[in-house]
């Protein structure tokens, strides 16, 4: 995680961002701190990368890389304003002993890559490039499944889908092409289908340890759906980060073992 010390909305690179809308940085820091405490309260270790002045989106560490075991694929951002974040994340991972691959194709880390325990789901259509699929498969040596995103509000995979455990996902079908919906239905016939109201709170921008699901506090119907399926919702208000199109997952890079 990275504290939102320099968080701001000074440009618009997704439909959620409006530079004319005020941002309360102190509130963002307080909400981020609560999110971090939620993780530590569940027994998870949280490592922190230092924020860099001039990189207002660096709080969204999920975009910085994808990590599986001791191997990592660094990010290559589509938007030039975020390009300087990539080497900062690579340096942090390298300094901690990870084998970091410098990407050739555009990929935006865990923003578009999701580990299911069996394969990597990859969202394309807005940010990560289809050319990244072969590179991802080569780096990690596991099956890769491409999913087409079609709604610009859900510009990253992690805004429209979350992996709950090795057998279960939750997702918002209208964010995906018809072909990708059919593919997800075949892979996950018991998936939790989330409605638009909760999707628009970025309720699906969540993290799960297989039991506890840390998620936007405003996605109340989704929380009920999770509880009905035996998961434990852990609601956290990160509404200030939503002004930049981010949420719980965006602020969390998971180091998958």
Assess if residue 19 is contained within a domain.
no
CATH number of the structural domain spanning residue 217: 3.75.10.10
Q: CA triplet 202, 203, 206: central angle to 5 degrees?
A: 100
The parent domain of residue 205 ranges over 25-251
Assess if residue 89 is contained within a domain.
yes
Q: What is the pLDDT along the chain (257 residues), one digit of tens a residue?
A: 999 999 999 999 999 999 999 999 999 999 999 999 999 999 999 999 999 999 999 999 999 999 999 999 999 999 999 999 999 999 999 999 999 999 999 999 999 999 999 999 999 999 999 999 999 999 999 999 999 999 999 999 999 999 999 999 999 999 999 999 999 999 999 999 999 999 999 999 999 999 999 999 999 999 999 999 999 999 999 999 999 999 999 999 999 97
What are the pLDDT digits (tens) for 195-234?
Answer: 999 999 999 999 999 999 999 999 999 999 999 999 999 9
Assess if residue 105 is contained within a domain.
yes
Closest of 146, 112, 159, 114 to residue 15, by C-alpha: 159
Q: How far is CA 117 from CA 71, 82, 142, 163, 185, in A?
A: 15, 29, 10, 9, 18
> For residue 123, what are the β-bridge partners?
147
Q: Give the strand pairing for 65-68 and 71-74.
A: antiparallel
- Per-residue confidence (pLDDT) for residue 126, from 0 to 100: 98
φ, ψ of residue 247 to 5 degrees: the values are: -155, -150
Assess if residue 6 is contained within a domain.
no
Assess if residue 57 is contained within a domain.
yes
What are the catalytic residues? 156, 250
The DSSP letter of residue 56 is: T
Assess if residue 8 is contained within a domain.
no
Domain count, the chain: 1
- Per-residue confidence (pLDDT) for residue 257, from 0 to 100: 79
Other C-beta atoms within 10 Å of 10: how many? 12
């Amino acid at each position: 995680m990275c504290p939102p010390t320099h968080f701001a909305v000074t440009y618009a690179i997704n439909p959620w961002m409006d530079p004319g809308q005020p941002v309360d940085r102190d509130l963002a820091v307080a909400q981020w701190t609560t999110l971090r405490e939620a993780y530590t309260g569940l027994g998870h270790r949280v490592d922190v990368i230092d924020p860099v002045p001039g990189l207002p989106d660096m709080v969204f560490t999920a975009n910085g890389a994808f990590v599986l075991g001791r191997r990592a694929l660094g990010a290559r951002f589509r938007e030039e304003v975020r390009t300087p974040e990539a080497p900062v994340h690579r340096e942090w991972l390298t300094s901690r002993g990870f084998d970091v691959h410098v990407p050739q194709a555009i990929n935006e880390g865990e923003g578009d890559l999701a580990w299911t325990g069996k394969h990597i789901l990859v969202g394309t259509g807005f940010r990560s490039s289809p050319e990244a699929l072969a590179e991802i498969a080569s780096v990690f040596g596991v099956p890769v499944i491409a999913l087409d995103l079609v709604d610009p509000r859900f510009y990253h995979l992690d805004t429209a889908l979350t992996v709950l455990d090795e057998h279960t996902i939750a997702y918002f079908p209208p964010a995906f092409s018809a072909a990708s919906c059919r593919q997800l239905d075949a892979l996950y016939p018991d998936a939790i289908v989330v409605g638009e109201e909760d999707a628009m709170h970025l309720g699906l921008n969540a993290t799960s340890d297989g039991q506890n699901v840390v998620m936007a506090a405003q996605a109340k119907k989704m929380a009920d759906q999770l509880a009905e399926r035996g998961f434990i919702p852990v609601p956290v208000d990160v509404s200030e980060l939503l002004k930049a199109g981010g949420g719980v997952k965006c602020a969390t890079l998971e180091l998958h073992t």
